[in-house]
Structure 1
Amino acid sequence: MSKPYDLPSLGDLACFEAAARNLSFKLASTELNVTPAAVSHRIKALEHELGQALFNRQYRGVELTEAGALLFVSLQRGFETISESVTRIRSRHDRTGVSIAATTAMSGLWLTPRLAAFWKAHPGVAISQLIQDDQKAQGVDLSIHYGDPEAEDDETRVLFHDRILALGTEQFARSYGIARLADLSDVPLIHTQSGVNPYTEWPEWFAYLDRPAPRGPGFFLNNYLISLQAAEDHVGAVLGWEGLLGSHLGSRRLVPLVPDEMPSPHPFYLRIHGRASANARLFADWLAEH
């Protein structure tokens, strides 16, 4: 009887995936709790069975060959599907609760303030928040993102699509004499560059308003909440989403520095993962409505 799947040793494949993901036999051995020699032996056995090299061995490390890259992508997709299924099976014993992933900024500024109102309407539904600034959002019912919801394979709900304003303190505005758009060209600006979230940045904002790129000093941070704190401390101007920063604007901790604004190129949206329960969908509909 022939085998239903044309696969090498699953142990060899798992070893290869760890080495390819880390681009290091040593790091793979640490992750798998085996020796680097054992990792090398398994990968050589896999290469022998496939009849071609999967890695180019170099003095400073390894890199994937074309065949290795093809196999790695296929394994990642397969392992991600298996991981999702395992998570779903493990969580079946309790599907009354809802898990939702969001960035630190989205959770602190928008999601958490709304939970009290949801619990008042639905006191029997427990909500678990996971802070995932890398946007991978795995193993949860729901996740919040800033970007293009049409690019998702899962069902989505748009939460809000608003205006991007140049914000700062009233003291900062007075110190630099800011009253119109041209006044922002040479003042200190706070840039949020997280590396994973496609935040709209100052050059895009100025370009939309037909202004050249800013020339003033820049302060570069990788966390939006810290960027807001820096702006509150009069360090510089920061870009802000009106719908995200209602409490800051309402309390005048930050104020619009100029009347000019840019419509956000992307909405904040909710992704409904395949594992989502009925309570998760209830919460998703409530968030989108409110």
Structure 2
Amino acid sequence: MPARYHSLPSLTAIASFEAAARCASFKKAADDLNVTPAAISHQVKSLEAELGFQVFNRYHRGVELNEAGAFLYVAIQRGFGEISSAIDQLQLRADDDAVTIEATTAVSAFFLTPRLTRFWAHRGHIPVSQNVTDLPGTSPTSDLCIFYGEDAPNSGDCRLLFRDRISILASPEFAARFSAQNLTDLTKMPLIHLTASDARWTGWQSFLEMLGVTIDLGPSHYVNNYAIALQAAQDGVGAVLGWETLTRGLISSGSLVKLFPDSIEAPHGFYITARKNAPARAIELRDWLLAAD
């Protein structure tokens, strides 16, 4: 029998863990998967035995993810999201009129999806499939791709979608708790760092250097996904660097606030590229996004 892909644990155990983590309950996970709570418990214990560490803290009234479990849960969610996105694309491919557009998790969640809602209000006859991925490079099967950088891909029609500014954001409760007066106060507060594989993303040190500030940074929390970084900031974990166009909705709703008036222009721009021979409906969507505010 061939070895399992990348020596992954049982997919049944992974699915059981994902449901238990998402529901924060073995019983609710069992209802979700139409199995018994004992089956969920067995699969989670089997997963922990294979991994060599626990993923839940167990209490009399229930369970909660520990640090290792939370890290694994985010990775599994991303993996399931990629699988779901691929299936959606394959199903939509049956319709030759479907437009596929590729973007990162953060760009999709905070920029593209809200605009697609408005696009469909006027052009609901154009089906759109989002290919959400944080992996570098573009898929040759995507009609459109939104990316952050300066260098256009080797092929296709590339246009500047928007340039952005970067500022420091946090939850209102976090801002009230620390009452920061100037940038030197960053030494006293926890900061959320994005460990992105793309070196073009601006980190805290680069941000402060561009403002001419040299300080030792405060306690650090690290995540490898910008959407997770923003969620952590909303939960009061720490301050985060916010790309203002991407975070406009979070600021407007009051979920995040600016800690300081200081900001910098992002070193790179967000571009949208259309592959060669992209269908007319893809160009129609691209042009609409270029004109939308």
TM-score over 0.5 (shorter chain): yes
User: Is contact 2:155-2:275 (8 Å) kept?
Assistant: no
User: Is contact 2:184-2:215 (8 Å) kept?
Assistant: no
Give the Cα–Cα distance (whole angstroms) in 2 for the partners of residues 94 and 251 of structure 1: 37
Whichever of the two has the greater Rg, that structure is 1
Q: Secondary structure at the match of 1:283?
A: helix
Give the Cα–Cα distance (whole angstroms) in 2 for the partners of residues 281 and 119 of structure 1: 15
Q: Which amino acid letter does the alignment assign opposite residue 120 of structure 1?
A: A
- Counting aligned pairs with the same residue, the percent is 39
Q: CA deviation at 1:92?
A: 9.5
Deviations 1:187-226 (A, max 9, x none): 2110111214632111110000101154211111001111
Q: Secondary structure at the match of 1:185?
A: helix
Q: Which amino acid letter does the alignment assign opposite residue 217 of structure 2?
A: R
Q: Which amino acid letter does the alignment assign opposite residue 171 of structure 1?
A: E
Q: Which amino acid letter does the alignment assign opposite residue 210 of structure 1?
A: G
Q: CA deviation at 1:105?
A: 1.0
Give the Cα–Cα distance (whole angstroms) in 1 for the partners of residues 188 and 153 of structure 2: 37
Q: Secondary structure at the match of 2:268?
A: coil
Give the Cα–Cα distance (whole angstroms) in 2 for the partners of residues 197 and 137 of structure 1: 17
Residues 173, 276 of structure 1: alpha-carbon distance in 2 compared, 3 angstrom cutoff: same
Q: CA deviation at 1:183?
A: 1.4
Residues 281, 271 of structure 1: alpha-carbon distance in 2 compared, 3 angstrom cutoff: same
Q: Say which of 226, 248, 258 aligns to 1:246.
A: 248
Indicate the residue corresponding to 1:61 in structure 2. Answer: none
User: Is contact 1:189-1:217 (8 Å) kept?
Assistant: yes
Give the Cα–Cα distance (whole angstroms) in 1 for the partners of residues 207 and 289 of structure 2: 28
Indicate the residue corresponding to 1:230 in structure 2. Answer: 232
TM-score normalized by the length of structure 2: 0.65
Indicate the residue corresponding to 1:264 in structure 2. Answer: 266
Indicate the residue corresponding to 1:135 in structure 2. Answer: 136
Q: Which amino acid letter does the alignment assign opposite residue 274 of structure 2?
A: I
User: Is contact 2:167-2:264 (8 Å) kept?
Assistant: yes
Q: CA deviation at 1:278?
A: 0.8
Q: CA deviation at 1:94?
A: 4.8
User: Is contact 2:195-2:223 (8 Å) kept?
Assistant: yes
Q: Secondary structure at the match of 1:267?
A: strand
Q: Which amino acid letter does the alignment assign opposite residue 130 of structure 1?
A: N
Q: Say which of 190, 193, 204 aligns to 1:191.
A: 193
Q: Secondary structure at the match of 1:137?
A: coil
Q: Secondary structure at the match of 1:101?
A: strand
Q: CA deviation at 1:141?
A: 0.3
Give the Cα–Cα distance (whole angstroms) in 1 for the partners of residues 248 and 148 of structure 2: 17
Q: Which amino acid letter does the alignment assign opposite residue 161 of structure 1?
A: R
Residues 171, 272 of structure 1: alpha-carbon distance in 2 compared, 3 angstrom cutoff: same
Task: Please show how residues 1-290 of structure 1 align to structure 2 within 5 Å.
Answer: 94-138=95-139, 139-150=141-152, 152-196=154-198, 198-290=200-292
Q: CA deviation at 1:155?
A: 1.4
Q: Which amino acid letter does the alignment assign opposite residue 197 of structure 2?
A: G
Q: Which amino acid letter does the alignment assign opposite residue 182 of structure 1?
A: T
Structure 1: 5+ residue runs without aligned partners? 1-25, 32-90
Indicate the residue corresponding to 1:57 in structure 2. Answer: none
Q: Which amino acid letter does the alignment assign opposite residue 115 of structure 1?
A: L
Give the Cα–Cα distance (whole angstroms) in 1 for the partners of residues 291 and 121 of structure 2: 16
Q: CA deviation at 1:150?
A: 4.1
- Number of residue-to-residue matches in the alignment: 204
User: Is contact 1:141-1:277 (8 Å) kept?
Assistant: yes
User: Is contact 1:149-1:269 (8 Å) kept?
Assistant: no
Give the Cα–Cα distance (whole angstroms) in 2 for the partners of residues 95 and 165 of structure 1: 42
Give the Cα–Cα distance (whole angstroms) in 1 for the partners of residues 191 and 104 of structure 2: 23
TM-score normalized by the length of structure 1: 0.65
Give the Cα–Cα distance (whole angstroms) in 1 for the partners of residues 233 and 197 of structure 2: 20
Residues 289, 220 of structure 1: alpha-carbon distance in 2 compared, 3 angstrom cutoff: same
Give the Cα–Cα distance (whole angstroms) in 2 for the partners of residues 189 and 124 of structure 1: 44
Residues 92, 123 of structure 1: alpha-carbon distance in 2 compared, 3 angstrom cutoff: closer
Structure 2: 5+ residue runs without aligned partners? 7-91
